[in-house]
Structure 1
Amino acid sequence: MVSQQFTVDLNKPLVFQVGHLGEAYQEWVHQPIISKERPRFFKSDFWEFCTCTAWWAVPLIWLPVVCWFVSMSVNMGHTFSQISLMVILGISIWTLIEYIVHRFLFHIETQSYWGNTMHYLIHGCHHKHPMDSLRLVFPPTATAVLLFPLWNLVKLFFPPSMAPALFGGGLLGYVIYDVTHYYLHHGQPTGDMPKKLKKYHMNHHYRILNKGFGVTSPLWDRVFGTLPGSKVAEKTR
């Protein structure tokens, strides 16, 4: 562990530097750089390419997969109403997963070299560079790796005819989440609800980081008591 004297050189690849911050990492990573200029992560062009994903790749790749999983349950004889309920249940389960992962994994406090490095890769970079448009959504390769154990988990707990539509609904929830997240950072909402959702998410980034963990909805923040107040006097961690 390197003490607070370590300084990150923003002109060099960042990923293998941030671990050296030690205990100072948490303070550093939550001081955002408000710039659309993309930081360099890796010296290797290949690994650098793997960290960048355009937002439209998420629906383009995963919506056909959603349709395929849902069609499996359709082919097993379920009615439209039954399929709709399964998909809605899948989306609902995703919103809870979204909240839990964001609160307890993405905002875990680290201080070891590898702990800081991994945190920076999975979420810290987003708080440090919130306007980096190509590192806002999850890379499809990483998503695919995670889908295999999740699919097996769903099959374990639900009947064979229900599992595909339920899983497809959860995957649709993920797609909605990633596209919404991108829009909240780079879109200019005009409707009342999107404006409130953008303000709610920007509060999480710039004012009170230990609340507002939902992205597509504040529902679970209300349930678990992490909904920010209407006025936040100061930024806290």
Structure 2
Amino acid sequence: MPMLIQNSSLTAEMVGKGFTVDLNKPLVFQVGHLGESYQEWVHTPILTEESPRFFESDFLEIFTRTVWWVVPLIWVPVALYFIRMSYTMGLTLALVVMLSVLGAFVWTFLEYCFHRFLFHIDTKSYWGNTFHYLIHGCHHKHPMDGLRLVIPPVEAAILALMFWYLYGILFTLSTRPVMFGGGLIGYVIYDMVHYYVHHGQPTKQSLKSLKKYHLNHHFRIQNKGFGITTALWDRVFGTLPKTKAADKRG
């Protein structure tokens, strides 16, 4: 289990290759200097809800913080627009509903792949560390930072555009919009579930289990448990973490 740091008033936290990270200064262009020590540093969580500063520039800083409700506010109407587009192009209502569900299911696979193969890349170069910190490392370092948990709209729009063009290759003219819209619904569910398992207090057993499953990824076995909305793909690809009971038996 990684060491936890709860005192956010520290001014300097760790030295890597002679470099000290100053937590009271913008972090993004510091972390690259940690070199090979970056992975240990970024996986040593600070358990406060404070939102550290990323950039000196106030303009750039704006784009790094997002309140959770912005995600459904922006992307649900966009998703419904594309789903309706396929209906107006002649697909039956039943087929539109089925393909919307399929699109959301495809997203669960994409979420797993992103988390496992991109968000958890092993970096040690200056720009590699900097890139990793921006896309996911910051979340592992400050897992309770509620303003840097959901994907910022600008970043999400870039990814959405990429998938829109990819879906143009994979699907027909009429099925492309509904698969894309269903995927957006899946993405919204992903970001809302992710926010909830960090900041919510679930009462239903299913949500309690999901919260435990994800926090286990943060604080116990960080190279397993890559699913957010479902553990299905971890089961399929053998990255489902063992329970503590199983660890003791082993």
Which band: TM-score by shorter chain?
over 0.9
Q: Say which SS state the counterpart of residue 51 (structure 1) adopts.
A: coil
Structure 2: runs of 5+ lacking an equivalent: 1-14
Specify the alignment match of 1:8 in structure 2: 21
Q: Are 2:49 and 1:63 aligned?
A: no
Aligned ranges 1:138-177 → 2 under 5 Å = 138-177=151-190
Specify the alignment match of 2:36 in structure 1: 23
Structure 1: runs of 5+ lacking an equivalent: none
Q: Are 2:164 and 1:117 aligned?
A: no
**Residue 98 of structure 1: CA displacement?**
0.3
- What is the distance in 1 between the residues matched to 2:208 and 2:232? 16
- What is the distance in 2 between the residues matched to 1:148 and 1:196? 34
Q: Say which SS state the counterpart of residue 204 (structure 1) adopts.
A: helix
**Residue 148 of structure 1: CA displacement?**
1.6
Q: Is the 8 A contact 2:16 2:38 kept in 1?
A: no
- What is the distance in 2 between the residues matched to 1:233 and 1:16? 39
Specify the alignment match of 1:75 in structure 2: 88
Measured against aligned partners, the alpha-carbon deviations of 1:145-197 in whole angstroms (never above 9, x if no partner) come to: 22222101101111111110011001110010001100000000000000000
Aligned ranges 1:1-237 → 2 under 5 Å = 3-231=16-244
- Using the TM superposition, name which of 223-232 and 93-102 deviates more: 223-232
Residue identity matched to 1:139:
P
- What is the distance in 1 between the residues matched to 2:91 and 2:63? 39
**Residue 233 of structure 1: CA displacement?**
5.2
- What is the distance in 2 between the residues matched to 1:37 and 1:144? 26
| % identity of equivalent residues | 64
Measured against aligned partners, the alpha-carbon deviations of 1:56-110 in whole angstroms (never above 9, x if no partner) come to: 0000000000010001011012122101111111111110000011000000000
Residue identity matched to 1:8:
V
Q: Say which SS state the counterpart of residue 75 (structure 2) adopts.
A: helix
TM-score under structure 2 length normalisation: 0.91
RMSD: 1.3
- What is the distance in 2 between the residues matched to 1:167 and 1:65? 10
Residue identity matched to 2:66:
T
- What is the distance in 1 between the residues matched to 2:214 and 2:72? 22
- What is the distance in 2 between the residues matched to 1:146 and 1:130? 23
The ranges of structure 1 where at least 4 consecutive aligned residues each deviate by more than 6 angstroms after the TM superposition are: none
Residue identity matched to 1:177:
Y
Residue identity matched to 1:129:
H
Measured against aligned partners, the alpha-carbon deviations of 1:91-145 in whole angstroms (never above 9, x if no partner) come to: 1111000001100000000000000000000000000000000000001011112
Measured against aligned partners, the alpha-carbon deviations of 1:6-30 in whole angstroms (never above 9, x if no partner) come to: 1100011100000000000000000
**Residue 37 of structure 1: CA displacement?**
1.3
Residue identity matched to 2:225:
G
